[in-house]
Structure 1
Amino acid sequence: MTPADALKADDQAHAARTMWNLLHAWWQMMPKEKRTLANADAAIRQARKDIGFLAVLPAQAAQAVLKTYFQAWKNCWDGRSDAPNFKARLRSTLTVDVPQGRDLNITRVHRRWGLANLPKIGRVRFRWTKDLPVGKRADAENRITGARLVKDALGWHIAFRVQTLEKTPETHQGPEIGIDVGITVPLALSDGATYEHGEWLTDREQARLLGLEQRAARRKKHRRPGERTSRRLQHTYDQIAGLRAKAKRRAADWQHKTTTHIARMYSVAVVEALQITNMVKSARGTVEEPGKNVAQKSGLNRSISGEAWGRTVTLLTYKTARQGGTLAKVPAPNTSRRCSACGFTTPGSRETQALFVCKNPDCGWSGNADHNAAQNILHLYRTGHALVPAAGRAVARRAPRVKPATAR
């Protein structure tokens, strides 16, 4: 995407954000009986006439904002999300919808690049990272139904919505596996396998990130209270955000590849039902009762959040379902303290982070602590301790068939 096209996309995204905020203000102002889709549609049509810069947003994209806003309220009423709120300029992700797939007119230039039409932007080149049903491969059952433009610290990206017809997968015939998640060893399996990763940024990138953070701190120190951020400081912030986004993308890539391999290898993946939100609570305490080891707990919380255990479980849930397998959850207490050889449980069995030594005089087994926990997780599943989901909620939800690609 050229700089001129990027500016057009920015204008459309800010117009879409403004449209959302206007809808939110309209919703709060109207009585309940007048909060209908027809009245909201009439309101945004009038807003597009009265506010000039909203015209840069295509009409179909404005309708997509309207449908998304009403769907957000439905999700709130069903208990799936919080209530919609105001979208701030600096804290919101810039997005633009292209609801009609026929408007894209996608063509493949060669192996790495493709071209797509974006309304009121023009012909844009994007990196071809996934197979798309275009040309002779497109039919009524396999076709592109739309797209969404998303901007992050690395620039604008395009994700295509693809409708495909998939066969019901056959029952997976692979073995069952228990999975223990951690920080030192991200994923330890009950059969002795481990999945590990290094730092997401190279040494050179980490040194550059540290230098940029120090530069930002120096420039921020000279800014007066309430003074607007200078262009140099904002440019430094953008460079920091770019490096962090690169690390985040590498982490997500590792998670996708790892969970895909596990889903293909095993019929049942068993994980702990961890309350991650409770695990990462701050230890700061109150003024009357201050916490202890606050800095150490903060570092642990950052490490837990960085591993994104919840996202790993989410990916495994739909990927195992696609392969004909299942994902099960078991209670988490005592999986790290129980001996998988004799079943004896004691708090002092874990000698170190990596070593487990059974304190039972008749056993004395020792081995890797993470693999021991994974074997206990699998044992709980086989003995019928798998948690049953709440009534009315599915065990596994299949992710939408979205074909992401990077716009350039």
Structure 2
Amino acid sequence: MEIQRGTKFRLYPTPEQASILEEQGHAARGLWNLLHEWWTWGGRHRRPSLKQADEAIRQARKEIDWLTVLPAQAAQQVLKHYTRAWANFWDGRAKPPRFKSRIRSRMVIDVPQGRDLDVTKLSRRWATVKIPKVGVVRFRAHRAIPGRVTGARLVNEANGWHIVFRTTWEQPDPAPHAGPSVGIDRGIAVPLALSDGNHQHHGPWLRPKEAERLLRLERQSARRRRTRVRGEADSKRLTRTYDQIADLRGRAARRRADWQHQTTRRLADTYSLIGVEDLNIAGMTRSARGTVAHPGRNVRAKAGLNRAIQSEAWGQLAEQLTYKTAERGGTIVRVPAPGTSLRCHVCGFITPGSRESQARFVCKNPQCGWAGNADLNAARNIHHAAVRAATAPGSGVAGRGALQPLGGATKRQPKRREPVS
């Protein structure tokens, strides 16, 4: 099987090299915006060809001086990503491409060909890479680069520039995994609830002092934004506050990614079949603000829930589980989400009021009466659906399973009607 992977390292450019990288990053963002303005000119039904777009980029690089700092291959990659964004929109997988602002978009530069990078190992922890129009830049080689390098991407994050090498290699197909099966329920109070009771927990991504400092900086930036004149550049104080906020949030994101990688690798090594919910995360985190005519309810509480869901990065965790499980001969099954938290995993009934609280589930069926943790009940429902999907004849191991209890067909307990007096 062919493995394609991205390996990330921290770059340590000189001040002159960092200045050139920033110029290239802004040029790539500006080229995207120029391309977007040219592409959307003339109405929504205009469909320019790739040849026309390529000619427009070549002409722009001749007429606009600051575009020449960006290598020609990196400019072609901007066109490639832009056309792919439109293809994803036309296929219904994403929103249409839009203007990239200077503040809300991070600087990204693509190096499509790996032969131009010339990676050289200097010592046990240090190596160099040759970047077009920048020169030889050192990076922290904390691990070996697996496989063959086919390209790279330069990304500017809160703690500096990073390089992500695109690598590929061939390896034998893995033998079928011999481990047990499990269902996983992703949540907030319990990050990963497993059907066998082996729940996975983590602490807060920021330490108490760091969380206090982040809150203080956010309030400080809000006060300074009130005095900012619309259309003018940010003051140096406000820019410095933004950088400090980005540094703390980036620190939390790196800790979350580290926990997710370690946890997903441990789960992929242990279990052969993993069932997860097919969640509509974008719909779950949609704002409840509403409109002026029809305002929403509990807007602040919903906003807090949205932040908690986004801080867990459920989609990223599912992607890591998918490729790590496949590399080890296992299978991941995505089951429909409706009903997993309301159905009793023992009897299969859905009765009103069974979910007594966020953490406790009590089956109201008189013949059952199971009581326990609500996340554990949901994880076992997911496990039942994943096993049924994997063992269904003709459906394939990776098929989507019908959400049914293991003991029989799904039933819904009828509501009890009180006599009218």
TM-score normalised according to structure 2 size: 0.82
Counterpart of 1:401?
none
Deviation at 1:179, TM superposition (A): 0.8
Aligned mate of 1:196, from 195, 201, 205: 201
CA distance in structure 2 between the partners assigned to 1:214 and 1:386 by the alignment: 54
Is the counterpart of residue 25 in structure 1 residue 37 in structure 2? yes
**Contact 1:330/1:385 (<8 A) preserved:** no
Distance change (3 Å), C-alpha of 1:382 and 1:100: closer
Query: Residue 236 of structure 1 is aligned with which of 216, 220, 241?
Result: 241
Query: Aligned to 2:353, what secondary structure does the other structure show?
Result: helix
**Cα 1:207–1:162, aligned 2, differ >3 Å: closer, same or farther?**
same
What is the DSSP-based 3-state SS (H/G/I as helix, E as strand, rest coil) of the residue aligned with 1:195?
A: coil
The answer to whether structure 1 residue 208 and structure 2 residue 217 are counterparts is no
Q: Distance in 1 between matches of 2:135 and 2:115?
A: 14
- Distance verdict in 2 for CA 1:257–1:346, change over 3 Å: same
User: Which residue is 2:408 aligned to?
Assistant: none
Contact 2:40 2:46 in 1 (8 A): no
For the residue of structure 2 that corresponds to 1:161, the secondary structure is strand
CA RMSD of aligned residues (A): 2.9
Q: SS at the partner of 2:233?
A: coil
**Would you say 1:45 and 2:82 are equivalent positions?**
no
Distance 1:302 1:268, change over 3 A: same
Aligned CA distance change for structure 1 residues 114 and 375 (closer, same or farther; 3 Å): same
State whether structure 2 residue 287 is matched by structure 1 residue 282: yes
SS at match of 1:193: coil
1:224 CA drift (Å): 4.1
Where do residues 146-295 of structure 1 align in structure 2 (5 Å cutoff)? 146-295=151-300
Number of residue pairs matched by the alignment: 384
Unaligned runs of 5+ residues in structure 1 are: 134-141, 397-408
1:97–1:147 Cα contact (<8 Å) kept: yes
Q: Distance in 2 between matches of 1:45 and 1:282?
A: 42
Residue 406 of structure 2 is matched in structure 1 by none
Provide the C-alpha distance between the structure 2 equivalents of 1:2 and 1:163, rounded to a whole number of angstroms.
Answer: 30
- C-alpha deviation, 1:199, in angstroms: 0.7
Corresponding position of 2:335: 330
Structure 2: gaps (5+ residues): 1-12, 401-421
Letter of the 2:212 partner, please give it. Answer: A
Structure 2 counterpart of 1:365, from 365, 370, 373: 370
2:133 to 120, 132, 141: 120
* 3-state SS in 1 of match to 2:152: strand
Q: Please state whether the residue corresponding to 1:45 is helix, strand or coil.
A: helix
Indicate the residue corresponding to 1:90 in structure 2.
103
- Contact between 2:390 and 2:399, CA under 8 Å: does it hold in 1? no
Moved more, 34-43 or 50-59: 34-43
1:24 Cα offset (Å): 2.8
Q: Does 1:6 align with 2:18?
A: yes
Matched, 1:65 2:78: yes
| Higher deviation after alignment, 370-379 or 59-68 | 59-68
Q: 1:266 to 1:232 in 2, by over 3 A?
A: same
Bigger RCO of structures 1 and 2 (CA < 8 A, at least 6 apart)? 1
TM-score w.r.t. length of structure 1: 0.85
Q: Distance in 1 between matches of 2:327 and 2:180?
A: 16
Percent of counterpart pairs with the same letter?
Answer: 56
1:200 offset after TM fit, Å? 0.5
